[in-house]
Amino acid sequence: MSRPSQDLSHLTVLAAFAHPDDEGFGSGGTLAMLVSRGAQVTLVCATNGDVGEISDPGLATPENLAQVRQEELRQAMRVTGVKDVRFLNYRDSGMAGTQDNNHPNSLHQAAKAQVVGQLVAVIHEIRPNVVITHDPFGGYGHPDHQAVCRHATRAFSLAGDMGAFSAQAWPPGLLYYICFPRSNFRRMWQEMLDRGITPPFASMDINSLGTPDEEVTTTIEVSGFVDTKIESLNCHQTQMDPNGPLSQMPPEKIREYMSTEYFMLAGRQGSQKDQDILGRPV
């Protein structure tokens, strides 16, 4: 278990996600920790979350949800301390097999080279040491999460190639995938069932959710940043169902789950002296 305390002002991090609020549960504490230690963090959000839930009809309508969710993310990042927030402005593709997959402006329909090129351009501009994104399964199989993982992984690989996009080659040192360990999913589900709560993703096979435990390479204890993490998550009001399964759990249990975040070291390149997500030499 890692308890970071050193200065990280030498570290630049690119965090790439699919929707506003994707940054919260799995990496919100780590982002807050990085900023508090002086790291320069840029957050890129590929879609505007156009077809997400609306917890209260007084907060948004289907027609303006994209704009509302963009502002929710900006507010969440003000809480976290991330000043550089960017949108690629693709439309939310919805879950697999839905009509939203076919929308011409959706991330699902976007040309791969176009999205990768946008991410490479950001890498060339900010020159990150570390890139953080979704895991290949996308946590619970969301196609936009999976797509951002593929595109960010490709951008990570191509950014150092002078012939790929431009002469501004910059190979980020390390690529991390955010993990939700499978054993954690099972434990949380069982606790909810024991309390008579219907778990999230209840229609899915529990054994297919999350990352196999053995693929987790980095565990970060973020209990000192849980309050910031919760406040930031609460900015995503349209997505926070006050009667949802997480809201029905005892607050101390939710804090327990939120106090540890997990990552997989998925890529390493470059000749420079690499540093991990905590600023340690590797």
Whether 148 has a pLDDT exceeding 60, the answer reads yes
Task: Give the model's pLDDT for residue 282.
Answer: 62
Give CA–CA dist 46/118, Å, rounded: 10
Which of 3-17, 121-135, 225-239 has the weakest average pLDDT? 3-17
Average pLDDT across the chain, whole number: 91
Task: Give the model's pLDDT for residue 26.
Answer: 94
pLDDT digits (tens, 9 = 90+) for 77-111: 999 999 999 999 999 999 999 999 999 999 999 99
Whether 272 has a pLDDT exceeding 60, the answer reads no
Whether 115 has a pLDDT exceeding 90, the answer reads yes
**Contact 123/159 with Cβ under 8 angstroms?**
yes
Task: Give the model's pLDDT for residue 34.
Answer: 97
Within 13 Å, how many C-alpha atoms sit on residue 207's CB side? 0
pLDDT digits (tens, 9 = 90+) for 176-231: 999 999 998 889 888 999 999 998 877 778 887 888 999 999 999 999 999 999 99
- Segment 150-160 shows an average pLDDT of 95
Read off the pTM.
0.92
